[in-house]
Structure 1
């Protein structure tokens, strides 16, 4: 078993499941919380994430298969998607795939799901298909405000991690998103994104 990532909420390991490459995600104990409360929260989040992965797949969105859930250890063993994170691809490829990412996010929102952690590291290209991973912060939500927060985050990521190609990537993302959610909802969400940005600028000035 190999440690791939130490996160604030969970540690990610590379492992095996019935001779297949797999990912083991273990939620961390938060020692500053009451032990029984912490255990309850970690179990609830583990259940929710495993359910969300399966739910999203039912909408035709590529996600890892869930192999096994251990509530005592608050862990999930899931399929390893052996591709490359979009974050690590050549710039021209990121621009090209931003349209597909936009479509996938559009499908999530159209089906009432907020991802909660939309970064280019949470989309993986594998066998010419883009997979969405890490639903640890996701939630069922039809609120336009929540969907706008999703879009605002991916825009920030493009602006910080991919600054040179931010404009064409964001344009392609919005094109793909709009093709799924429709013109009216697209206008509503992008207006909310602008509102969030303006509040941020005001807060910085103050």
Structure 2
């Protein structure tokens, strides 16, 4: 299981670059000990940003997420801890839970998780960050797909085990 996950993560990391997503370069994948040797990205984890840099980063994360979704990839762990701002550019890391999928449900789950993270880690500015994220996401996936996914986020929030995030 670990071997297949390691291979999938390294493959998707590399594929994402083809779509214009900034990710660390993969130098080596060791199938025996299930490790990936990759480029170290120097910068600030988005979780630690504040103010206009955080708003900017969330809009970029929206664009990145939309581009991934448009190309049939669900990140699976969309948190502000999995993005790094380096020299004015946002890099995406940790594709360990990613998968290839074009399902609306899966893409909506990605968005729902990010919304939940914003509400817990950035509660005071959650609404503006969510709005920035959605603006970036819409610009990448287009109006029709955006409406489908956002509608499905509402459906997920309506399920018993999920509380709606304001």
* Secondary structure in 2 matching 1:118: coil
Assess if the C-alpha contact under 8 Å between 2:156 and 2:162 holds in 1.
no
Q: Which is richer in helix?
A: 2
Deviation at 1:202, TM superposition (A): 7.4
Deviation at 1:90, TM superposition (A): 1.5
Deviation at 1:201, TM superposition (A): 5.9
C-alpha separation between the residues in 2 aligned to 1:200 and 1:158? 21
Q: Does 1:43 align with 2:6?
A: no
Partner of 1:129: 89
Partner of 2:122: 162
* Higher normalized contact order (CA 8 Å, seq sep 6+, divided by chain length): 2
C-alpha separation between the residues in 1 aligned to 2:125 and 2:137? 18
Assess if the C-alpha contact under 8 Å between 1:67 and 1:79 holds in 2.
yes
- Alignment RMSD (CA, Å): 1.5
Assess if the C-alpha contact under 8 Å between 2:57 and 2:85 holds in 1.
no
Match of 2:56 among 65, 86, 96: 96
Deviation at 1:95, TM superposition (A): 1.7
Q: Larger Cα Rg: Structure 1 or Structure 2? A: 1
Alignment of 1:172-187 (within 5 A): 172-187=132-147
C-alpha separation between the residues in 1 aligned to 2:14 and 2:158? 36
Q: Which is richer in strand?
A: 1
Deviation at 1:147, TM superposition (A): 0.2
Give the alignment's TM-score, normalised by structure 1. Answer: 0.77
Assess if the C-alpha contact under 8 Å between 1:117 and 1:138 holds in 2.
yes
Alignment size in residue pairs: 164
C-alpha separation between the residues in 2 aligned to 1:74 and 1:95? 36
Deviations 1:62-86 (A, max 9, x none): 0000011111111110001111110
C-alpha separation between the residues in 1 aligned to 2:107 and 2:29? 28
Where in structure 1 do 4 or more consecutive aligned residues deviate above 2 Å? 200-204
